[in-house]
Amino acid sequence: MGKLLEVKSLSVTYDDGKTKAVNNFTMDLGHKEIIAIVGESGCGKSTLIKSIFNLLPPNGKIVSGEILFNKKNLHEYSQEQWRTVRGNQMSMIFQNPGSYLNPILKIGKQFVESIRAHQRISKNEALILAKETLRKMQFTDTERILNSYPFQLSGGMKQRVAIGMALIMEPKLILADEPTSALDVVTQVEIMNELLEFKEHANASILWITHNIGSAAYIADRIIVMNNGEMVEFDQKRSILTQPKMEYTQKLLQSIPTLKGFRNEQSNHSRIKSCLKGV
| Per-residue pLDDT reduced to its tens digit, 122-139 | 999 999 999 999 998 889
The rounded distance, in Å, linking the Cα atoms of 215 and 203 is: 21
The mean pLDDT of 71-75, rounded to a whole number, is 93
- Give yes or no: residues 135 and 223 share one domain: no
Confidence of residue 272 (pLDDT cuts 50, 70, 90): very low
Helices 155-167 and 185-202: crossing angle in degrees, nearest 10, is 0
Residue 57 has φ and ψ, to the nearest 5°, of -65, 165
Of 142, 170, 198, the residue at which a domain comes to its end is 170
- Give yes or no: residues 145 and 194 share one domain: no
The rounded distance, in Å, linking the Cα atoms of 151 and 111 is: 16
Of 170, 187, 222, the residue at which a domain comes to its end is 170
Confidence of residue 278 (pLDDT cuts 50, 70, 90): very low
Tens-place pLDDT, residues 52-69: 999 999 999 999 999 999
The mean pLDDT of 194-198, rounded to a whole number, is 91
Better-scored residue on pLDDT, 272 or 44: 44
- Give yes or no: residues 182 and 117 share one domain: no
Domain range for residue 155? 98-170
Q: How many structural domains does the chain have?
A: 2
The rounded distance, in Å, linking the Cα atoms of 36 and 221 is: 8
Report whether pLDDT(235) > 90.
yes
- Give yes or no: residues 204 and 85 share one domain: yes
The mean pLDDT of 42-48, rounded to a whole number, is 92
In a domain, residue 18? The reply is no
- Give yes or no: residues 122 and 193 share one domain: no
